[in-house]
Amino acid sequence: MYNTAMGHQYVQFGCGMCAPPTWLNFDAGPAFWIQSRLPFFTPILVKRGFPPYPKNILYGDVIKGLPIPPQSAEAVYCSHVLEHMTLDEFRLAIRNVYTYLRPGGTFRMVLPDLEQLINAYKNDPTPGASSRFMQDSFLGEPTLTRGLKSLPTALFGRARHLWMWDYKGLAEQLAAAGFTDIRRAQMGDSPDPRFKEVESIERWPDCLGVDCKRPA
């Protein structure tokens, strides 16, 4: 557990390389696990295209549960994480987030917008429309690597999208988990300025942002 004597924490999970020091930043990716537990492998991973992670990231899997006391978080944020979970994992993750938040706390997220991707496909009359949809949605596998070359994919998986969301579907799931004040969000529109520390301009265009709260 982490000491919350200084007040409610700001928590980010699936943080990747975005780890502002004012937030508790968690990641559960295999590459980060190896770099944090077996640092002598870091040069090998860097050669494979996995840059070294910031030092202030903590290992934590929101599906299994982060080491965060209940009702200790002022806010929780994730960017392009939820679509890499199965439906069951997603439901468990958002229930866990609900327990971390204080009453009135904010859960804010951005992820690919399934509705926008489908509309782009429907409005594309060219023969390559279906292939572009599969590529843009990360639902397709253009090739299947076999043998030893498949090991990096097996070890550092979750690159593909496992369950995609539009606003109405995501809002229904959040409401079922107990969240209220559910709304579409745009980058930078939160009244809490601390979210500007984790929001990144390249991760929001044509994507689905959602802001919601644990009831006060």
* pLDDT (tens digit per residue) in 52-79: 778 899 999 999 999 999 999 999 999 9
Q: Which residue has the tokens 């804010």?
A: 108
**Span 143-166, average pLDDT:** 69
**Span 126-130, average pLDDT:** 97
- pLDDT, position 130: 97
- Whether the per-residue pLDDT at 2 is higher than 60: the answer is no
**Span 166-190, average pLDDT:** 98
- pLDDT, position 33: 59
The full set of domains in the chain, from first to last, is 9-113+151-213 (3.40.50.150)
The band of 142, judged by pLDDT with boundaries at 50, 70 and 90, is confident
The Cα 14–Cα 89 span in angstroms is: 14
How many residues would you count in the chain?
A: 216
The Cα 30–Cα 141 span in angstroms is: 20
Edge-to-edge strand list for the sheet holding 9-13: 57-59, 24-27, 9-13, 73-79, 101-112, 207-213, 180-185
CA dist list (Å): 166 to 61, 117, 132, 157, 170: 24, 10, 19, 24, 6
- pLDDT, position 121: 97
CA dist list (Å): 68 to 51, 73, 164: 27, 8, 27
- pLDDT, position 176: 98
The band of 157, judged by pLDDT with boundaries at 50, 70 and 90, is low
- pLDDT, position 4: 44
Pairing verdict, β 24-27 and 73-79: unpaired
Q: Tell me whether residue 64 is exposed, middle or buried, using C-beta atoms within 10 angstroms of its C-beta: 0 to 12, 13 to 18, 19 or more.
A: exposed
Residue 206 contacts by C-beta under 8 Å, 6 or more apart in sequence? 113, 116
pLDDT tens, 6-29? 467 999 999 999 999 999 999 998
